[in-house]
Amino acid sequence: MTTQSFELEVVDVVEETADAHSITFRVPAGAEADFAFRPGQFLTVAVPSDVTGLAARCYSLCSSPADESGTLTIAVKRTADGYASNWLCDHLREGDTLRVLPPSGIFTPASLDADLLLFAGGSGVTPIMSIARTALARGTGRIVVFYANRDERSVIFARELTALAAAHPDRLQVVHWLESVQGLPTPEQVRAFAADRTSYDAFVCGPGPFMKMTVAVLKELGFPRERRHQEKFVSLGGNPFGDLPQAEQAAEEIAAAEGEAPEPDGRPDAAGLVGPVRLEVELDGETHVLDDWDPATRMLDHLEARGIKAPSSCREGECSACAVRLLEGDVTMAHNDVLDDEDLAEGIRLACQATPTTPVVRATYS
Ligand SMILES: Cc1cc2nc3c(=O)[nH]c(=O)nc-3n(C[C@H](O)[C@H](O)[C@H](O)COP(=O)(O)OP(=O)(O)OC[C@H]3O[C@@H](n4cnc5c(N)ncnc54)[C@H](O)[C@@H]3O)c2cc1C
């Protein structure tokens, strides 16, 4: 069982810059609750492919849940030699449809009333735009955007940002950083920018080196982990649109043909746990208690098998859509490409990769 995908109609495509298009989808009637989102979250889209059937890719929403327009907008920037981004920019037109998974992700402010320090580089502006728009519409805090680009022509949403800053002079300040004029931002320059704002909630999204440098500066300045957020733009390797029971069935058939029993989940019960584990999970204000977690099954698969609609996207430990925080017990992860040491120390784990190492595990999605 996987999260249900929806066929969404494209209602608008805008060439924002020479290499970035924004794409607006209409939320299908009856699916409004599925597509309710928090600013900073992303959609996962299925890009058709002659080679693999589809390529699944995540794109952050740049629109705001405060819009109430019944539409969702993403912005896609072409990646040099990339497959999906170029396909989306070249082929998608108004009236087309695309398979889309509902919004997910944890790059989202805990409070819209907080003061926000938003760092964007290039296409990393998409979730930042949604956070800024929403906080301005529904929150009360001050918002500062540091937006780095190669040159003036590559600035996505330049007009919108100017208009927002003009409409909210007391709350929004936007600082554009152009590499063509000022060179790449240095740690000293970012430090000078952030030093007076150490009480703000910081969000960073952009190219790898930009994020690494900015996050290192924020750490140095003493921003605690809960006020330091980053979103990594990576391509998914897996296919979250696939049907898991079918995949499991296929694995069993292959193993049977080879004359051996399949190892569930591809890994033995490393913790030596025998018998089922008790799993308690808080999700959307509800606590689910499951007494039958097979220690060789991943947490996300177990929740889904019991009919619980838990958030997920890549299912490969590459995004953070399925992140949970442990409250009791522990798990081990088969693969983790997103959580750093501090995340792990705080008990954050990826449910799609987690198998239990203790007889009781309590976790929360909040
Ligand atoms: C949470 C999140 C949010 C993101 N938000 C945004 C955003 O707002 N805006 C944005 O622009 N990007 C965003 N990204 C990045 C985006 O998901 C893609 O990684 C990016 O667009 C590059 O994808 P690409 O396919 O063009 O490039 P690549 O992934 O570099 O393309 C090459 C890959 O495609 C495969 N490939 C080549 N040809 C084919 C084919 N014919 N069929 C199938 N596969 C093929 C290759 O094997 C190779 O693996 C986000 C990523 C994440 C994780």
Residues 92 and 172 reside in one and the same domain: no
Domain with 154 in it: what CATH number?
3.40.50.80
Residues 73 and 23 reside in one and the same domain: yes
Q: List per-block mean pLDDT (blocks of 10 residues) for the chain, which spans 366 residues.
A: 81 97 97 95 94 92 95 98 98 97 90 97 98 98 98 97 98 98 97 98 96 95 91 84 52 47 43 83 94 95 92 80 93 89 89 95 93
Q: What is the CB neighbour count within 10 angstroms for residue 278?
A: 17
Nearest CA among 62, 64, 107, 59 for reference residue 79: 59
Give the position, in ligand 1's atom list, of the atom nearest the Cα of 314. 53
Domain with 77 in it: what CATH number?
2.40.30.10
Q: Is 257 a member of any domain?
A: no
CA 97, 102, 106, 108: dihedral to nearest 10 degrees? 70
Q: What is the CA radius of gyration of the chain?
A: 21
Contact 162, 175 (CB under 8 A): no
Nearest protein CA to atom 4 of ligand 1, as residue: 59
Q: Is 20 a member of any domain?
A: yes
Residues 123 and 227 reside in one and the same domain: yes
Does residue 84's CB lie within 6 angstroms of at least one atom of ligand 1?
Answer: yes
Does residue 54's CB lie within 6 angstroms of at least one atom of ligand 1?
Answer: no
Contact 119, 245 (CB under 8 A): no
Residues 121 and 227 reside in one and the same domain: yes
Does residue 10's CB lie within 6 angstroms of at least one atom of ligand 1?
Answer: no
CA–centroid distance, 49 to ligand 1, in Å, is: 13
Does residue 319's CB lie within 6 angstroms of at least one atom of ligand 1?
Answer: yes
Which of 211, 231, 251 marks a domain boundary?
231
Residues 227 and 274 reside in one and the same domain: no
pLDDT of residue 320: 80
Q: Is 258 a member of any domain?
A: no
Residues 128 and 79 reside in one and the same domain: no
Q: How far apart are the first and last CA of the chain?
A: 23
Q: Is 239 a member of any domain?
A: no
Domain with 337 in it: what CATH number?
3.10.20.30
Residues 126 and 216 reside in one and the same domain: yes
Count how many Cα atoms sit within 13 Å of the Cα of residue 32 in the half-sphere of its side chain. 6
Q: Is 151 a member of any domain?
A: yes
Give the position, in ligand 1's atom list, of the atom nearest the Cα of 58. 17
Residues 212 and 297 reside in one and the same domain: no
SS3 call for 104: strand
Query: What is the tally of structural domains in the chain?
Result: 3
Identify the domain containing residue 306 by its residue range. 263-364
Q: Is 237 a member of any domain?
A: no
CA–centroid distance, 318 to ligand 1, in Å, is: 13
The C-alpha atoms of residue 222 and residue 212 are separated, in whole angstroms, by 16
Q: Is 193 a member of any domain?
A: yes
Residues 126 and 224 reside in one and the same domain: yes
Residues 77 and 154 reside in one and the same domain: no
Residues 79 and 142 reside in one and the same domain: no
CA–centroid distance, 203 to ligand 1, in Å, is: 22
The pick from 42, 49, 63, 85 for probing ligand 1's pocket by mutation, whose C-beta has the most ligand atoms within 8 angstroms, reads: 85
Contact 199, 221 (CB under 8 A): no
Q: Is 34 a member of any domain?
A: yes
Give the position, in ligand 1's atom list, of the atom nearest the Cα of 57. 17
CA–centroid distance, 293 to ligand 1, in Å, is: 34
Nearest protein CA to atom 15 of ligand 1, as residue: 233
Per-residue tokens: 19 = 């290499």
CA–centroid distance, 254 to ligand 1, in Å, is: 30
Residues 37 and 98 reside in one and the same domain: yes
Which of 69, 104, 139 marks a domain boundary?
104
SS3 call for 298: coil
pLDDT of residue 271: 61
b/e for 159-193, b at 16 or more Cβ within 10 A? eebeebbeebeebbebebbbeeeeeebeeeebeeb
Which of 231, 252, 285 marks a domain boundary?
231
SS3 call for 106: coil
pTM check: above 0.85:
no
Q: Torsions phi, psi of 180, nearest 5?
A: -65, -25
